């Protein structure tokens, strides 16, 4: 026996109304899941919402405008090494100039200008990274920087040189091993500027997602002893081009 048309319409509307709360809950759940995944990705990235987001230093090599993708002027000669003097000791780094010429030239250029002198490491995650390069930490005390990291306040980690540089990880064969030096960035592409980090162990989850541009050759014990609030006293570039 066939139901009359008005009855069929009434039953169909009843079923749809019953399903609507379930559909809304499903949509909300999917949205929350996506947000949680993005948060997890950011937390595990090693960038910490870091470089290229603000221009507080005024020390950019050519003072390009905010948001400009910058190409360093420094001409690499392939012999440069970095000597990073901290309050915990000295670290020496060899560069991977063939695999990451922009990151290397940018780091050297900033170092020669004294950009990093007085900057404090602002992020320490045991067994993961020690990160620095935010010029906003220069005017803060070591205690303030350490406390901000401990409380995860997000007070530091957004400063940069006033520009960003191109990513160089897609075809970069260098992996994250203990003592690797790499450029921090946000989740956005080409968002590195001045912030960098040392890997505190093998970090396969970061390989080919962040530009590894150097490796610690001496002072690895210093790297592992660094904490948030420790100071970069100076960075000297040996064998730099005149």
Please indicate, yes or no, whether residues 13 and 64 belong to a single structural domain of this protein.
Answer: no
The domain tally of the chain equals: 2
Q: Does an H or E element contain 9, and which?
A: helix 5-43
The confidence score (pLDDT) of residue 68 equals 73
Contacts of 168 (CB under 8 A, 6+ apart): 99, 100, 101, 102, 103, 211, 213
Please indicate, yes or no, whether residues 96 and 33 belong to a single structural domain of this protein.
Answer: no
Please indicate, yes or no, whether residues 52 and 39 belong to a single structural domain of this protein.
Answer: no
Among left, alpha and beta (phi > 0; psi -120 to 50; other), residue 118 is left
Spatial distance between the Cα atoms of 217 and 205, rounded to a whole number of angstroms: 23
Spatial distance between the Cα atoms of 42 and 37, rounded to a whole number of angstroms: 9
CATH code of the domain containing 229: 2.40.100.10
Please give the distance of CA 202 from its chain centroid, rounded to a whole number: 17
Among left, alpha and beta (phi > 0; psi -120 to 50; other), residue 46 is left
Q: What is the pLDDT along the chain (242 residues), one digit of tens a residue?
A: 444 555 454 444 444 444 433 333 333 333 333 222 222 223 233 333 443 333 333 222 333 445 579 999 999 999 999 999 999 999 999 999 999 999 999 999 999 999 999 999 999 999 999 999 999 999 999 999 999 999 999 999 999 999 999 999 999 999 999 999 999 999 999 999 999 999 999 999 999 999 999 999 999 999 999 999 999 999 999 999 98
Asked whether 93 and 218 are in contact (CB, 8 A), the reply is no
Please indicate, yes or no, whether residues 32 and 63 belong to a single structural domain of this protein.
Answer: no
Please indicate, yes or no, whether residues 131 and 32 belong to a single structural domain of this protein.
Answer: no
From the list 110, 109, 119, the residue with the least C-alpha distance to 142 is 119
Please indicate, yes or no, whether residues 15 and 127 belong to a single structural domain of this protein.
Answer: no
Asked whether 69 and 151 are in contact (CB, 8 A), the reply is no
Please indicate, yes or no, whether residues 12 and 101 belong to a single structural domain of this protein.
Answer: no
Please indicate, yes or no, whether residues 49 and 155 belong to a single structural domain of this protein.
Answer: yes
Please indicate, yes or no, whether residues 137 and 101 belong to a single structural domain of this protein.
Answer: yes
From the list 81, 105, 122, 97, the residue with the least C-alpha distance to 236 is 81
Q: Pull the structure tokens for residue 110.
A: 């900033």
Beta-strand pair 212-218/159-160: unpaired
- Domain of residue 19 covers 1-43
Please indicate, yes or no, whether residues 73 and 189 belong to a single structural domain of this protein.
Answer: yes
Query: What is the per-residue burial (b if ≥16 Cβ within 10 Å, else e) of 189-205?
Result: eebbbbbbbbbbeebee
Please indicate, yes or no, whether residues 130 and 31 belong to a single structural domain of this protein.
Answer: no
């Amino acid at each position: 026996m066939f139901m009359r048309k008005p009855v069929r319409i009434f039953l169909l509307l009843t079923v749809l109304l019953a399903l609507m709360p379930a559909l809304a809950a499903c949509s909300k759940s999917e949205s929350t899941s996506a947000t949680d995944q993005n948060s997890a990705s950011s937390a595990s990235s090693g960038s910490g919402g870091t470089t290229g987001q603000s221009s507080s230093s005024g020390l950019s090599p050519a003072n390009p405008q905010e948001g400009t993708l910058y190409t360093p002027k420094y001409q690499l000669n392939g012999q440069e090494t970095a000597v990073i003097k901290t309050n915990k000791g000295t670290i020496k780094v060899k560069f991977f100039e063939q695999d990451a010429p922009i990151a290397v030239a940018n780091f050297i250029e900033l170092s020669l200008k004294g950009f990093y002198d007085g900057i404090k490491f602002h992020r320490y995650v045991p067994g993961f990274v020690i990160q620095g390069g935010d010029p906003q930490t220069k005017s803060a005390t070591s205690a303030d920087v350490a406390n901000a990291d401990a409380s995860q306040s997000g007070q530091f980690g957004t400063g940069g040189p006033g520009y960003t540089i191109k990513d160089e990880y897609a075809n970069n064969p260098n992996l994250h091993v203990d003592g690797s030096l790499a450029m921090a960035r946000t989740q956005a592409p080409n968002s590195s500027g001045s912030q960098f980090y040392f890997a505190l162990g093998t970090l396969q989850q970061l390989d080919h997602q962040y530009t590894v541009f150097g490796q610690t050759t001496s002072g690895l014990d210093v790297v592992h002893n660094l904490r948030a609030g420790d100071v970069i006293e100076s960075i000297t570039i040996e064998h730099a081009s005149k």
